[in-house]
Amino acid sequence: DPPDKDKPPFKRYQYGFAVGGPIKKNKSFLFGDVEWTDIRESATIVSTVPTPAYRNGDFRGLGSTIYDPATWNGQERTPFPNNIIPSSRFDRVTNQMRNWWPDPQTAEVTNNFVFNPPRDQDFSKWDIRFDHTLTDTDNFFLRWSNQRQNVAGVPQLPPVQGFGSVSRGGPLVVVSNNAVAAYNKVWTPSVVSGFRFGWNYIDTDDLIHTDVTENINAKLGLVGFSNTLRGSPEMNMSPWRQIGNTN
């Protein structure tokens, strides 16, 4: 974190309860528990973003020559004059997307932007188990467990006016269920058998940021992609932080 900024907050709350007891003495027993964990913290994301000059096509400080691809004659290309790409050559889609990058916070060309978005997490889980003794030599139990994890969206860059959070790190919801049924039998003092059946199910939803409310492809005029789903394709231009959120 920048030394001139306040330390990001961190709070963790964990609570729950458990209860159990006999339903029928020496025969049936029921147990259950519930637990919640709420985490309130901020993430620290360090990114490299292009300078305003780079975003405007001025690469005079790059240290590498930028060539005009339209001048390729089969053997060589002609550099752009003064290493500046004229705005008339900007693609109409990327001309809009380039403004999704914020301005750097420092004069450096790498690791020049620090963002501290909230990273709230809510966890809940519960178990319920039933044990029953059939006879002195056999018994069974049933158990069901559930766990849910809600992770709020953690955008890697600040929201963009008119578009929302067009970067990675959307909300994540994971729900898992587990069930077990078991039967135990004592045949002789030296022979014991156990039969167990288990079932697991996990559902993961990796979502688009909630402040992205429309299909951005249509808004940008980008063809060849979905014009109904929320969000936009992702654009990667190394070494800068990728922008867009896959839909």
Mean pLDDT of the chain: 91
Q: What's the pLDDT at 3?
A: 64
pLDDT, one tens digit per residue, over 55-113 is 999 999 888 899 999 998 888 999 999 999 999 999 888 899 999 999 999 988 899 99
Specify the pTM: 0.75
Amino acid 247: pLDDT: 53
Three-point CA angle 21, 27, 30, nearest 5°: 30
**Start-end of H helices in 176-223:** 216-220
pLDDT of 229 strictly over 60: yes
According to the model, what pLDDT value does residue 232 have?
A: 87
Q: Is the pLDDT of residue 193 over 80?
A: yes
Q: What is the CA radius of gyration of the chain?
A: 29
